[in-house]
C-alpha cells in the first residue's frame, strides 16, 4: 500500500502527544529516551548519520535556529531544520535548505516507519515526528541539521543526538507544571542537553540558572561560552542589519554567532557568510511588521509566555514610542496569562480579546477582567473568534496581534499574509491523541 499525504496525517492523529495533554511532572514515566533510542535503532540510528547543532531554551531557540540555518546555508552547506510548532503547514517542522519536506516524501516516510512503530506501542506523537525528521535529513544527505528542542531538554526526544555544539538560549518561567517552579529547576531540565566534551553556548546571564548551566558543563567537561549584553553590539553585529525586530533578536543573533564560531573548526564558515546569513534570516510571526498599501501597520508576535510578553513590550517602546496600538490578544490558559495581560495591556489604547483556536485557550472574559484592571482607560472588548476581532480593527492604523504562535498562524491566514491555504494542519500543534479512537 502506498499512503497518500492525507492518510499519513490521519495515521499521525492516532498517537498521543504528551506535550499537549494535561500537564504533569516531566518524568521518565512519560518521556522515555530509552524507548526513543530503541525506536531509532530500528530505523538504523539516523541521528548518528548527520552532524547537528542542538538548541534548547525558554525563548529564542527558534530564532537562533533560523539564524544558524541561514548562515550555514549561505556558506553553501545543505542544512536541515527541525522546529516546532508550525504556523500553518505540518511540514514546516521538517525542512532542508528552507524547503518543506514534500508531501510524497512525508507520506513515504510514514509508511516506512510503521513496522518499527508497531514494535513500540508507547511511542508519542512527537517521538514519531522526530524519527521522520531525522530519516529525512539522512535521505537528503544534509551536511548539518539545526535541531530545536520540543519541550525541556533532558527528556526531549531530540536529546538522543551528540551535537557539534549545544545551545541554551535563555531560561525563564514557562511550562512550570512540568519543568519546575524555580529557574534552577527549569535550567536543570534545559541543561540536560549538554553532552560530554561537546562545547556549549548560552545567552543565560541570571545567576541562578547560569550556576546550573556552569555546573552541568563542568561535569561533562564541556567548554562553556557565555554571551552577554556586550556581544550584542560587538563586530560584526554592530553593522549587521537584522530583519527581525527587537533587542532580544540582537541577543539571539549574538548567541547564534557564538555557536557558529564554535562550529567553525569542524564545519568551516566564512565571516562574510555569517554576516550575509544573519542579514537574510526569515522567521515569520516573531515581531513581524506588515505595512499595508493604506499605511496601516500590523505587528504579529507569537509572545506566548512572560518573557515573550516582556520582549514585545520592550520592542513596542523602542520602535513605536508614544504610539498606543489596538491589541488583539489570545493566550493559552496553561501560560501565566494574568502576568502577560498586566505586561501588555497598559501599552494599548484598545484591547480585543479573542480565543486561540485550541482546546487550551484561555477564556476572553477572564483576560478582559485582568486587562481592564491593568489599563482602566482602555476600551476592552471580547470576541467569539479571531476573525470577528480582526474585523473590528479594519480601520485602526496600528494593530498588534500577540499571545500565541497558534493565534499568529491563524491571523496570517485570515489577513492573507501567508500563501498557505487554511486547513486543519494547525490542529496538529494541539493534538493530544485523546480523541484518536473517534477518528
- Report pLDDT digits (tens) over 126-156: 999 999 999 999 999 999 999 999 989 999 9
The C-alpha cell of 143 is what? 551536511
How high is the pLDDT of residue 38?
A: 97
pLDDT tens digit string along 48-97?
999 999 999 999 999 999 999 999 999 999 999 999 988 889 999 999 99
Measuring CA to CA, which residue among 337, 338, 324 is closest to residue 407?
337
Least confident window among 38-52, 92-106, 252-266, 356-370: 356-370
CA dist., res. 70 & res. 273, Å (int): 9
Chain region(s) in the chain for CATH 3.90.190.20:
288-417
Neighbours of 229 (CB within 10 A): 12
How high does pLDDT run on average in the chain? 91
Gyration radius from the chain CA atoms: 21
Overall residue count recorded for the chain in this entry: 439
Pairing relationship of beta strands 297-301 and 398-402 according to DSSP bridges: parallel
pTM of the model: 0.90
Q: What values do phi and psi take at 37, rounded to 5? A: -65, -40
Please give the pLDDT value at position 70. Answer: 98
**Which residues 6+ apart lie within 8 Å of 166 measured at CB?**
53, 54, 55, 56, 193, 194, 195, 198, 199, 200, 201, 222
Q: Report DSSP state, residue 123.
A: -
Q: Please list the residue range(s) of the chain that carry CATH number 3.40.1190.10.
A: 5-280
Residue 421 has pLDDT above 80, yes or no: no
Q: Which residues contact 419 (CB under 8 A, 6 or more apart)?
A: none
Average pLDDT over residues 206-220: 98
pLDDT digits (tens, 9 = 90+) for 282-302: 999 989 999 999 999 999 998
- Class in CATH terms, 288-417: alpha beta
Q: Given this model, what pLDDT does residue 13 score? A: 81
**Does residue 258 surpass a pLDDT of 70?**
yes
Beta-carbon contacts of residue 143 (< 8 Å; ≥ 6 apart): 50, 51, 72, 77, 78, 79, 267
Q: What local confidence, expressed as pLDDT, does residue 20 receive?
A: 44
Section 248-266 average pLDDT: 96
Tell me: pLDDT of 434 over 70: no
| Out of 72-86, 105-119, 301-315, least confident range | 301-315
**For residue 18, pLDDT beyond 60:** no
Which is it for the CA torsion 280, 283, 285, 286, positive or negative?
negative
**pLDDT of 122:** 86
Secondary structure class of 352 (helix, strand, coil): strand
Q: Which CATH architecture has domain 5-280?
A: 3-Layer(aba) Sandwich (3.40)
* pLDDT at residue 213 in the model: 98
If you ran DSSP here, which 8-state letter would residue 214 be given? Answer: H
Across residues 11-24, what is the average pLDDT?
A: 61
CB 209 within 8 A of CB 187: yes
Residue 422: predicted pLDDT:
52
- Report the range of poorest mean pLDDT among 248-257, 323-332, 386-395, 428-437: 428-437
* For residue 423, pLDDT beyond 70: no
Residue that has been written with the C-alpha cell 512572560 in this structure: 306
Q: Quote the cell numbers at residue 247.
A: 533587542
pLDDT more than 70, % of the chain: 92
Residue 359 is predicted with a pLDDT of 82
Let me know how many helices (H) and strands (E) the chain has, helices first: 15, 14
Amino acid at each position: 500500500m502506498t499512503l497518500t499525504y492525507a492518510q499519513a496525517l490521519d495515521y499521525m492523529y492516532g498517537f498521543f502527544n504528551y506535550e499537549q495533554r494535561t500537564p504533569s511532572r516531566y518524568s521518565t514515566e512519560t518521556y522515555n529516551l530509552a524507548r526513543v533510542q530503541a525506536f531509532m535503532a530500528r530505523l538504523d540510528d539516523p541521528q548518528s548519520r548527520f552532524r547537528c547543532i542542538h538548541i534548547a531554551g525558554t525563548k529564542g531557540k527558534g530564532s537562533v535556529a533560523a539564524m544558524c540555518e541561514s548562515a550555514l546555508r549561505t556558506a553553501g552547506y545543505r542544512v536541515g531544520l527541525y522546529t516546532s510548532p508550525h504556523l500553518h503547514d505540518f511540514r514546516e517542522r521538517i525542512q532542508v535548505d528552507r524547503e518543506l519536506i514534500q508531501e510524497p516524501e512525508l507520506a513515504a516516510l510514514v509508511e516506512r516507519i510503521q513496522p518499527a512503530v508497531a514494535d513500540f506501542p508507547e511511542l508519542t506523537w512527537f517521538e514519531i515526528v522526530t524519527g521522520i525528521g531525522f530519516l529525512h535529513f539522512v535521505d537528503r544527505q544534509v551536511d548539518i541539521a539545526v535541531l530545536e528542542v520540543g519541550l525541556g531538554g533532558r527528556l526531549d526526544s531530540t536529546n538522543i543526538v551528540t551535537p557539534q555544539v549545544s545551545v541554551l538560549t535563555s531560561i525563564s518561567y514557562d511550562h512550570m507544571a512540568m519543568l519546575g517552579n524555580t529557574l534552577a529547576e527549569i535550567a536543570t531540565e534545559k541543561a540536560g542537553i549538554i553532552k560530554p566534551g561537546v562545547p556549549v553556548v548560552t545567552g543565560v546571564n541570571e545567576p541562578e540558572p547560569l550556576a546550573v548551566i556552569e555546573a552541568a558543563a563542568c561535569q561533562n567537561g564541556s567548554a562553556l561560552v557565555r554571551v552577554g549584553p556586550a556581544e550584542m553590539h560587538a563586530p560584526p553585529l554592530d553593522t549587521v542589519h537584522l530583519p527581525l525586530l527587537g533587542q532580544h533578536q540582537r541577543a539571539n543573533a549574538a548567541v547564534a554567532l557564538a555557536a557558529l564560531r564554535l562550529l567553525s573548526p569542524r564545519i568551516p564558515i566564512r565571516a562574510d557568510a555569517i554576516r550575509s546569513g544573519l542579514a537574510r534570516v526569515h522567521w515569520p510571526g516573531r515581531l513581524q511588521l506588515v505595512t499595508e498599501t493604506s499605511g496601516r501597520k500590523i505587528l504579529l508576535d507569537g509572545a506566548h509566555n512572560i518573557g515573550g510578553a516582556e520582549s514585545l513590550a520592550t520592542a513596542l517602546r523602542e520602535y513605536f514610542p508614544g504610539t498606543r496600538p489596538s491589541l488583539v490578544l489570545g493566550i493559552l490558559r496553561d501560560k501565566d496569562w494574568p502576568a502577560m495581560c498586566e505586561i501588555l495591556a497598559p501599552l494599548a489604547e484598545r484591547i480585543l480579546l479573542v480565543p486561540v483556536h485550541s482546546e487550551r485557550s484561555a477564556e476572553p472574559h477572564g483576560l478582559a477582567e485582568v486587562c481592564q484592571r491593568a489599563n482602566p482607560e482602555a476600551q476592552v472588548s471580547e470576541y467569539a473568534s479571531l476573525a470577528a476581532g480582526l474585523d473590528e480593527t479594519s480601520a485602526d492604523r496600528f494593530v498588534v496581534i500577540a499571545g500565541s504562535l497558534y493565534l499568529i498562524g491563524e491571523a496570517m491566514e485570515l489577513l492573507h499574509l501567508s500563501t498557505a491555504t487554511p486547513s486543519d494542519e494547525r490542529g496538529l500543534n494541539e493534538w493530544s491523541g485523546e480523541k484518536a479512537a473517534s477518528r
